[in-house]
A and B are shown apart, each in its own frame.
Chain A
Amino acid sequence: MSDLDELYQEVILDHNKSPRNFRTIENANRKAEGYNPLCGDQVTVYLKLENGVIKDISFQGSGCAISKASASMMTSELKGKTEAEAHGLFENVHRMLTGESAHDGSEKIGKLAILSGVCKFPARVKCASLAWHTVNSALKDRGEVASTE
């Protein structure tokens, strides 16, 4: 598989075309905005957090296929997870995107491994990590705008 085919796999294209949880949550109790100053990608993540568990999660915004698919997969993956689990996943995904992990399955990232092709495109790492930085800031409830910088 070429680098390009690995980047734009069928699953990613599908998430881009029909993003999951692409909506707002009326009674969200956490919300954060993320912004990639380099290219203008923008994402808002909504969370409904109950007793440390992510009961519901959604996102809105505009961005490229990679950032949209990454946000979509992230929301699917995080629903039902505890805050601690979400944080662990954030760390693992970040390592995968920056090419620091071995992709040998030793780190638990499940379906998100499909995004590993991004690490061969350094200019696109920030696209894939934007939603994750944003959810991280929502969980910390800093009320600040997350940035990939």
Chain B
Amino acid sequence: MKAAQEISKLEPRRNRFDVEQVRKDFPILAQKVHGKPLVYLDNGATSQKPRAVIEVLNHYYAEQNSNIHRGVHHLSERATAAYEAAREKVRRFVNARREQEIVFVRGTTEAINLVAQSYGRTFLKEGDEIIISAMEHHSNIVPWQMLCEQVHARLRVIPMNHDGELVIDEYRQLLNEKTKFVSVAHVSNALGTIVPVKEMVKLAHERGVPVLVDGAQAVPHLKVDVQDIGCDFYAFSGHKMFGPTGVGILYGRSELLDVMPPYQGGGDMISLVTFEKTHYNVLPYKFEAGTPHIAGGIGLGAAIDYLAALHWEQVSSHEDDLLAYATGALSDIEGLRIIGNAKEKAGVISFVFDHLHAHDVGTILDQEGVAVRAGHHCAMPVMQRFGVPATTRASFALYNTREEIDALVKAVGKALKVFG
């Protein structure tokens, strides 16, 4: 992130990213809320969908709908081809080596639970240690706590400093011969901190410890290359990166996925079933029991196509500009304190007032058409770390504008007025 001071509010945009054109691709953004233009700044919770994605979902149900991997008829072949084409798009999107390493799941949460239950219950035992960080979303805490209870392992937590950055020296100290797994977020959903996952993976791998990276908040903002990061697993959700809800991805290195038992049993994950014994299917189908969210998978593929057609450097610099501009503008508000001031940040600003609760801010902002998240962001330990009950979180996406940040600032001013 560029420091707020570096960018004057009057400075014209430095890139030629046409945000107004992009906004036209997202039909929902044109609406009014409580009589005011919608200012959607809750992208960390879920992003809006471009017309291209909505149309693909429509087209699937109107023209292609059929079950996959099992029909010999025309529609089933088309649906299967479209679904598998989406898998290949995801593979390219995260630069995995093979399609077999891309497992369709319901979302990040399911991906993490899959690894905790399948890998964790198989390879972890009493006394082993699992390392997570102090900035994790509940979905990267609870599955590991559940595993710890099941196998009597111990959860260790990397602390963070006052700016909301992980203390890497402490992480080094935590890594020891008992460490059997590391699971960390790539980008914090509550603070926006970008975590140095590549460096962290390297440290874990020096001890032969596998690493899962929770990429839910990273994929809409950063160019993710799982081979470059070197992680063993990478989990993310479709709906936070302009795709449909109910579909997500677990990337896993095939060497590990191969030795892991299935997570759920059912159709599609088998090659042969008798009452005596069942033979499991090959990767990735071994982990895809039951009829999946076919339309969702194809929709996610469409979201990837949409992103691929944009110039990533321009998107990135537009988002940097938004973050710097918003950080500067919000910092100017008297009494407002930003929680999370990491040097490397993406798309999120969490803030608090001493005498004004996040819920009240959220309600007043909503009346002004500004959608933000108010609460603990499913990261209660983060709130505890900073000694606040809740924060107001504005989270940005590529379609947000400086004008929308002005609307946010104005609405915050109104909240302050109501509370005198």
Asked if B360 and A40 make an inter-chain contact with CB atoms under 8 angstroms apart, the answer reads: no
Q: Which residues of A contact B367 (CB under 8 A)?
A: 2-4
Given contacts A64-B359, A65-B357, contact A40 B418 (CB under 8 A): no
Q: Which residues of B contact A127 (CB under 8 A)?
A: 359
In the assembled complex, A87 has its CB within 8 A of some CB on chain B: no
In the assembled complex, A89 has its CB within 8 A of some CB on chain B: no
In the assembled complex, B318 has its CB within 8 A of some CB on chain A: no
Which residues in chain B, 382-420, are within 8 Å of chain A measured between CB atoms? 383, 389-390, 418-420
Given contacts A13-B420, A42-B389, contact A4 B360 (CB under 8 A): no
Asked if A4 and B364 make an inter-chain contact with CB atoms under 8 angstroms apart, the answer reads: yes
Given contacts A7-B363, A40-B380, contact A62 B389 (CB under 8 A): yes
CA distance A13 to B357 in the complex (A): 12
Category for how many chain B residues contact A: 10 to 19
Tell me, rounded to whole Å, the shortest Cβ–Cβ distance linking B220 to chain A.
24
In the assembled complex, A63 has its CB within 8 A of some CB on chain B: yes
The number of chain A residues with a CB under 8 A from chain B is 22
1/0 per position for A28-57, CB-CB distance to B under 8 A? 000000000011111000000000000000
Asked if A40 and B383 make an inter-chain contact with CB atoms under 8 angstroms apart, the answer reads: yes
1/0 per position for B104-120, CB-CB distance to A under 8 A? 00000000000000000
Which residues in chain B, 72-108, are within 8 Å of chain A measured between CB atoms? none
Which residues in chain B, 322-376, are within 8 Å of chain A measured between CB atoms? 357-360, 363-364, 367, 374-376
Q: Which residues of B contact A146 (CB under 8 A)?
A: none
CA distance A127 to B359 in the complex (A): 9
Q: Which residues of B contact A40 (CB under 8 A)?
A: 375-376, 380, 383, 389-390
Asked if A66 and B376 make an inter-chain contact with CB atoms under 8 angstroms apart, the answer reads: no
CA distance A82 to B418 in the complex (A): 36
CA distance A62 to B44 in the complex (A): 25
Counting residue pairs across A and B whose Cβ atoms lie within 8 Å, the total is 50
Q: Which residues of B contact A13 (CB under 8 A)?
A: 418-420
Tell me, rounded to whole Å, the shortest Cβ–Cβ distance linking A17 to chain B.
8
Instruction: Determine the residue in chain A with the shortest Cβ distance to B368.
Output: A4
Tell me, rounded to whole Å, the shortest Cβ–Cβ distance linking A14 to chain B.
10
Of B364, B375, B389, chain A has the most CB atoms within 10 Å of the CB of: B389
Instruction: Determine the residue in chain A with the shortest Cβ distance to B359.
Output: A64
CA distance A121 to B362 in the complex (A): 12
Given contacts A13-B419, A40-B383, A40-B389, contact A124 B363 (CB under 8 A): yes
In the assembled complex, A102 has its CB within 8 A of some CB on chain B: no
CA distance A32 to B58 in the complex (A): 51
Q: Which residues of A contact B418 (CB under 8 A)?
A: 4, 8, 13
CA distance A16 to B420 in the complex (A): 12
Given contacts A13-B420, A64-B360, A124-B363, contact A38 B375 (CB under 8 A): yes
Tell me, rounded to whole Å, the shortest Cβ–Cβ distance linking B357 to chain A.
4
Instruction: Determine the residue in chain A with the shortest Cβ distance to B364.
Output: A4
Asked if A41 and B389 make an inter-chain contact with CB atoms under 8 angstroms apart, the answer reads: yes
Q: Which residues of B contact A16 (CB under 8 A)?
A: 419
In the assembled complex, A123 has its CB within 8 A of some CB on chain B: yes
Q: Which residues of A contact B383 (CB under 8 A)?
A: 40
CA distance A13 to B356 in the complex (A): 11
Tell me, rounded to whole Å, the shortest Cβ–Cβ distance linking B302 to chain A.
32
CA distance A140 to B390 in the complex (A): 30
CA distance A4 to B364 in the complex (A): 7
Asked if B360 and A65 make an inter-chain contact with CB atoms under 8 angstroms apart, the answer reads: yes
CA distance A92 to B58 in the complex (A): 47
1/0 per position for A103-123, CB-CB distance to B under 8 A? 000000000000000000101
Asked if A65 and B419 make an inter-chain contact with CB atoms under 8 angstroms apart, the answer reads: yes
1/0 per position for A3-25, CB-CB distance to B under 8 A? 11001100001001000000000
Instruction: Determine the residue in chain B with the shortest Cβ distance to A121.
Output: B363
Q: Which residues of A contact B364 (CB under 8 A)?
A: 4
Tell me, rounded to whole Å, the shortest Cβ–Cβ distance linking A99 to chain B.
17
Of A2, A3, A64, A124, chain B has the most CB atoms within 10 Å of the CB of: A64
Instruction: Determine the residue in chain B with the shortest Cβ distance to A40.
Output: B376
CA distance A57 to B77 in the complex (A): 69
Q: Which residues of A contact B380 (CB under 8 A)?
A: 40
Q: Which residues of A contact B374 (CB under 8 A)?
A: 39
Q: Which residues of B contact A66 (CB under 8 A)?
A: 359-360
CA distance A136 to B363 in the complex (A): 27
Q: A4-B363, A41-B389 are in contact. List 20 more A-B contacts (CB 8 A).
A: A4-B364, A4-B367, A7-B363, A13-B418, A39-B359, A39-B374, A39-B375, A40-B376, A40-B389, A40-B390, A41-B359, A63-B357, A63-B389, A64-B359, A64-B360, A65-B357, A65-B419, A67-B359, A121-B363, A127-B359
Interface CB pairs A-B, < 8 A, 28: A3-B367, A4-B363, A4-B364, A4-B418, A7-B363, A13-B418, A13-B419, A13-B420, A38-B375, A39-B359, A39-B374, A40-B375, A40-B376, A40-B380, A40-B383, A40-B389, A40-B390, A41-B359, A42-B389, A64-B357, A64-B358, A64-B359, A65-B360, A66-B360, A67-B359, A123-B363, A124-B359, A127-B359
Return the 8 tightest CB-CB contacts between A and B, nearest first.
A64-B359, A64-B357, A39-B375, A40-B376, A62-B389, A65-B360, A4-B367, A64-B360
